[in-house]
């Protein structure tokens, strides 16, 4: 066996291949978000990126470009509708947080308690956004059902949810200091980490596990 064959069959090659696929996926997600003017592009990029990332981990030989745009082609409408609702909710909660924070001086308990409640809701809505996009990919049901179960999954695995939130803000902080890192691998790297942290319900809950991998396999064929 020559050097090239040993390299192709080595762990180093597998990790290098994964890195390049993540960079490629990251650029595709950035492009989708920019073309979609941020607000419209982000939910489409995230939903397709989530399934593509899981596909890379399950089948390293998959074609990132083909899988990514195949998911967009079949699911962009539902992902956009779901994403816009969560984004609107995050905006409203964020506005309320700002309002209560600016009215803390002079201090009063009502604004303080209201700030704590809206901040908590804003944080768990970020994770519910993630679950909502996945559930939208899996089930052709009304948003009411998606909305309810996304929060149930967030609260049901609350420790993992808050770990994911901490990592999200840590990654954003690093990207602010090193913008180039965000362009190269920021979003896909975050999805890789989040995929391990928040994927537990899609492993432990039988119905979710079966439906998730059934949907994933349909894009890997």
Task: Give the tens place of pLDDT for each residue, 146-179.
Answer: 899 999 989 888 888 888 899 888 888 888 888 8
Quick check: 20 pLDDT over 70? yes
Q: What pLDDT does residue 75 have?
A: 86
Query: How much is the pTM?
Result: 0.88
The number of distinct structural domains making up the chain is 1
Q: What pLDDT does residue 15 have?
A: 77
- Token pair for residue 160? 């993992």
Q: What pLDDT does residue 185 have?
A: 77
Q: 176: burial class by Cβ within 10 Å (0-12, 13-18, 19+)?
A: exposed
Q: Are 129 and 168 in contact (CB under 8 A)?
A: no
Task: Give the range of the structural domain holding residue 27, as residue numbers without chain letter.
Answer: 3-220
Q: 159: burial class by Cβ within 10 Å (0-12, 13-18, 19+)?
A: exposed
Mean pLDDT (whole number) for 60-81: 88
Quick check: 89 pLDDT over 90? yes
Backbone dihedral angles phi then psi of residue 37, each to the nearest 5 degrees? 60, 35
């Amino acid at each position: 066996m020559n050097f090239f064959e040993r390299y192709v069959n080595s762990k180093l090659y597998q990790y290098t291949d994964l890195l390049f696929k993540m960079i490629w996926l990251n650029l595709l997600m950035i492009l989708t978000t920019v073309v979609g003017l941020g607000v419209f592009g982000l939910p489409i990029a995230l939903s397709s990126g989530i399934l593509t990332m899981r596909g890379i981990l399950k089948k390293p030989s998959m074609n990132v470009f083909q899988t990514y745009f195949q998911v967009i082609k079949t699911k962009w409408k539902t992902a956009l509708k779901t994403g816009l609702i969560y984004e609107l909710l995050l905006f409203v909660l964020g506005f309320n947080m700002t309002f209560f924070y600016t009215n803390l001086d002079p201090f009063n308990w009502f604004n303080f308690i209201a700030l704590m409640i809206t901040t908590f809701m804003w944080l768990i809505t970020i994770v519910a956004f993630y679950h909502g996009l996945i559930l939208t990919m899996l089930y052709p049901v009304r948003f009411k059902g998606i909305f309810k179960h996304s929060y149930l999954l967030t609260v049901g695995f609350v420790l993992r949810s808050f770990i994911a939130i901490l990592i999200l803000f840590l990654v954003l902080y690093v990207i602010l200091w090193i913008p180039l890192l965000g362009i190269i691998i920021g979003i896909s790297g975050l999805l890789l980490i989040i995929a391990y942290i928040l994927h537990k319900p899609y492993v432990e809950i039988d119905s979710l596990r079966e439906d998730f991998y059934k949907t994933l396999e349909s894009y890997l064929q």
